[in-house]
Chain A
């Protein structure tokens, strides 16, 4: 699968609308399969692509979900965020080229920039404040 991740911070002067509606750096915007080709504007400076070969799209869907309150009202545009600015230098350097290939299964035998064991520590649940612990 591939995760399209927002690379910048959108803002709104209304703090509630800013939290509810605006995409922030590190928010996943779309999840597509390995074969998907992205459009001309689905790259830098607006987006990064995180590639996780051989992982089904269904495994990434939760990172693309909004955070909603108990009445199903939108609370935050995304429950999860990728802490891009906290990534180790190696991953950050690779990402600055626009995409990062993450090995998340033994089924992927090609080249990669990093692995899921490293990267999952930078996927944070904004409601709990905890980083991901699960494997894909």
Chain B
């Protein structure tokens, strides 16, 4: 058991290299002449060639990949094609914004989702049906639409909260918090419903377990079966699913940052995608993957605490 657990964590860590390599490989497929698309149609072919040479785009793929890898190992993610700025500097300034949004949402959808899921598991069929319907809404109402509606309700019709923009924490914690409320809600909604449904489903699965039948028949009250035995047995699978839901939420953060014009990684990613600024997107891939890996490792570390069978013997 310990071996599989160890390999799981190693596997999670390997993602840090695997994902950027996949995106790098994608670059090699490019049918687009980067120099041409950045310089525009007005530039002469010589200018374009010189530009491509300057960016190192005329070198073979493997050479470029190797250079990128060695740079990556030393903490250097290259320079932006468009601004010439170091990618780490560019993204470093934006990371806190994204982290505030992502961590805030992670906390909200985990806590609220788990609570709703656990309560609904003990609440009978009608509550379960309600959770099913609401969680369908979580899929059906896309975060960008929800975001726009939230803006129209809380920032246009009434002006309780700012419509867009970001206030740094240093400029005022109150304003910082207010600027994050709508984005966090827009990003959390799908997560809350997904976590609630998963928690409830996992607990329902646990409640059909043969040990529940034995415990019930031998007198253990229903309350304890749900909130003690089923909850404890559902916690492992639920936490595993939490990791996957988080990956989805990370993708959502890109959209949400664009709705609310937050100067984070996600809005930069979309801008850079439009400009063919591949090193920047590549850098964002590294940052996002690192966040995913951290969450996955936390999940992997949590499993043995939740599941005695996964503990080292």
Do A and B actually bind? Answer: no
B residues at A contact (CB < 8 Å): none
